[in-house]
Structure 1
């Protein structure tokens, strides 16, 4: 099993330390902490990729800077707190990671948070889709 970067390992541990109802509460706290999309993208929705695996309208955009650090940005509606929470976990958990660290993340990380008993498989599939699309954008941006 691939070791998780510190931030994601801590997030995972935080979820596993809690009972199921408290895990859902933590997910809702993450939903409230999703950073706003930078202004430079708010007026350019054409730059954002829709995460089709999500039932709610979730959009992401990845930047890779000159030092090969990944920056993930996401939007998710407040009316979809579970999905918004998953987006926030990825945005916060990937912050400051290198291209190689992001690409090395286990594809099943969303299933490993301990929420599979609490949320529908469709919701887990949505977060898995967010991670897969993030990795795809990272690969696309670094291939050039």
Structure 2
């Protein structure tokens, strides 16, 4: 975590989730993570059974795939889709945090999320650093895909 990132505010949804995690005990944090894993939306039909059209996040200990769509509307609204097995609640919970906190935001806000955001949920004592690395990988890939789609739209290409 760099010293400058920790000063950058999180988008409202992520900030509220971070507050929720900080306001409870370590055991309750794990329960909150489990709840978020259960609330992670399923894939829309266009991605069902088509993991080859999604990006695998190799940093995750469990298989996790994600797809990022950026709308052609004025704010370039970002939509996130995740696929992780039900028997991977930690990975699904991390995806749930990112889905709840970033889905529906303008691309500029997603790109402005500080890289240290995964460390702001008071989970470092509750889960292993290797597991947190998975959430860092998810965020990094989301931002990279948003950036690529923004560049393609700026160049007049299709997304």
Shared fold, TM over 0.5:
yes
Matched, 1:86 2:94: yes
Q: How many residues matched?
A: 144
Q: Which moved more, 1:126-135 or 1:39-48?
A: 39-48
Secondary structure, in 3 states, of the residue corresponding to 1:42? Answer: coil
Once the two structures are superposed, the pairs formed by residues 1-144 of structure 1 within 5 Å of their partners are: 1-67=7-73, 68-144=76-152
Shift of 1:3: 1.7
Structure 2 gaps of 5+ residues are 1-6, 153-159
Distance 1:43 1:76, change over 3 A: closer
Aligned to 2:157: none
Shift of 1:142: 1.1
* Distance (Å, rounded) in 2 between the aligned partners of 1:10 and 1:117: 20
- Runs of 4+ aligned structure 1 residues displaced above 6 Å come to none
* Distance (Å, rounded) in 1 between the aligned partners of 2:116 and 2:8: 11
* Distance (Å, rounded) in 2 between the aligned partners of 1:135 and 1:47: 17
Structure 1 gaps of 5+ residues are none
* Distance (Å, rounded) in 2 between the aligned partners of 1:62 and 1:48: 8
Shift of 1:44: 2.3
* Distance (Å, rounded) in 1 between the aligned partners of 2:99 and 2:120: 17
Shift of 1:119: 0.2
Could you tell me the TM-score, scaled by structure 2's length? Answer: 0.88
1:76-116 deviations in Å (ceiling 9; x for gaps) = 11111011100111111112211110010011111110000
